[in-house]
Amino acid sequence: MRRAARARDKPRASACKCNTIRLTSPRHEFRWPQTPCPPSRNVSLDGIRGIAIGLVIISHACSGIGANSAVGQVLGPLAQSGWVGVDLFFVLSGYLITGILLRSRATSPVTYFRTFYMRRFFRIFPLYYSFLAAYAIVLAVYSKPLGSLWLQWNLPYLSNVFLARNGWGYGALSHLWSLSVEEQFYLVWPAILFCLPVQRTFACLTAMFCGFLAIRQLCVLGGASPVAVYATLHLDGLFLGAALAAIGPLRDVRRAARLSWSFLLLSSAVLLSESFRTGGLRPGEWHGGYYFMYALIAAWGTSLICVSLYSGNRSWINRAFSCEPLVQLGKYSYALYLFHVPIGVAVRRLRPSPENVVGILVYTVLLVLVCFGCAVTSWKLLEERCILLKDRLFSYPGGETGRP
């Protein structure tokens, strides 16, 4: 009877073995997965993704804003520096993709590679190539020639190479360089992680990042142009995001949160001071040691994610990241990123003069609303269906969707 009572009172073991770290405050309670198990969607990271796409859109919409007013003197440098949202995307991609791969590394090699690549295929390719096809149709309707360069560099995800060879510009497709960088990362990263020793993954990633910084500085000393570095050697965020995913569970989470906050505030102060000193972060004007600014920007993005991860779900910062507007922007960020530059080019004639700060802000809001409408439409018609299809056909063992 006593044995039956003890067995009845004993809590049942969960099918997903997790290590729970409980601190004195209920705001700091974390469950770190030790085996591949279905993770719930982290809404706070969607909010951070929304911040990233917001920075990028503001950067393109408010470029060249006048500095004749006090508002323009503040908004001008900030808008010029909004491209750091791309680096925040890189950190998120490195963190999420590496986490997925590390959780699935215990499966067979065939399952590991096939599942990852097919899931990436259904998530990325349908919208990307539909966007390129729609762009080609619009050019045909307006009797504008579709150059061979468009086919040569955008279809195989090599627009960053084109940018490095031909310099700034590239019209309504200039922003696709960052998608090329991520796709090239997705192509080789699974094999690299699969070959790394399990117990020393973080150490190996740290060594790779340091080696990458050294190689980039050698290329700079060898005469690499700023645009070539920007388009092809701009991988700091991907490396640091991957290293963050490989850290694993921490015992002193509150100390990690304090350190993350400290570095976030320090790096933000440095970036803001540099932005106002030079009229915006301008990678085209960097030289020598200034290229380490890429690493600082990536570290800023990493610390922002760490603040969210280590501050607890009920903390004020995660409640801010989880607000509905940011989450919605993050949910549709892929389509927003694809659409905002072509739409901005199409309605450029409606943009007020750079000296009209109020008009520029109104134009930016209208541009976001139009792009958001297009993004929601593409989600309903295409993206959502492709995501459901990849989850049904290529789920990870145990039902994991791979969407932390």
> For the residues of 19-57, what is the DSSP string, one character each?
EEEE-SSTT-EEEEESS---PPP-HHHHHHHHHHHHHHH
Measured distance CA(124)–CA(138) in Å, rounded: 22
* Amino acid identity at 286: W
Residue of higher predicted confidence among 12 and 84: 84
Backbone angle region of 171, left / alpha / beta, with phi > 0 → left and psi within -120 to 50 → alpha: left
Give the Cβ contact number of residue 311 at 10 Å: 24
Residue 345 pLDDT class (50, 70, 90 cuts): confident
Answer yes or no: are the C-beta atoms of 401 and 42 closer than 8 Å. Answer: no
pLDDT at residue number 358: 87
Is residue 360 a contact partner of residue 352, using CB atoms and an 8 Å limit? yes
User: Is 177 within 8 Å of 126 (Cβ atoms)?
Assistant: no
Count CB atoms within 10 A of the CB of residue 403. Answer: 16
Residue 147: the pLDDT is 59
Structure token pair of residue 220: 């700079």
Alpha carbons 364 and 351: distance in angstroms, whole number: 9
User: Rounded to whole angstroms, how far apart are CA atoms 260 and 205?
Assistant: 20
Confidence band, pLDDT 50/70/90 cuts, at residue 127: very high
> Closest Cα partner for 176 from 142, 143, 129, 216?
129
Cα separations in angstroms, 158 against 130, 149, 150, 232: 17, 11, 10, 10
280: left (phi over 0), alpha (psi -120 to 50) or beta: left
* Interatomic CA distance for residues 133 and 128, integer angstroms: 9
pLDDT tens across 70-97, in order? 778 888 888 889 999 999 999 999 999 9
* pLDDT band per the 50, 70, 90 thresholds, residue 151: low
pLDDT at residue 31 greater than cutoff 50: no
Give the pLDDT band (50/70/90) at residue 305. very high
Give the DSSP H or E segment for 18: strand 18-22
**Residue 388: how many other CB atoms lie within 10 Å:** 11
Residue 398 pLDDT class (50, 70, 90 cuts)? low
Rounded to an integer, the average pLDDT of 365-375 is 94
Alpha-helical (H) ranges within 279-402 are 293-310, 316-321, 324-331, 333-346, 357-378, 384-393
pLDDT of amino acid 368? 93
Long-range contacts of 16-21 (CB under 8 A, 24+ apart): 16/398, 19/249, 21/249, 21/250, 21/251, 21/253
Q: What is the pLDDT of residue 20?
A: 39
Averaged pLDDT of the chain: 85
Buried b (16+ CB within 10 A) or exposed e, 92-115: bbbbbbbbbbbbbbebeeeebbeb
Please check whether residue 254 is in contact with residue 28, taking contact to mean a CB–CB distance below 8 angstroms.
yes
- DSSP designation for 13: P
Partners of 29 in the beta sheet?
22
Tokens 């279809």: give the residue: 155
pTM: 0.87
Tokens (6 digits) for 148: 């061979």
Burial of 41 (0-12, 13-18, 19+ CB in 10 A): exposed
Specify the pLDDT at position 29: 40
**What pLDDT is recorded for position 251?**
82
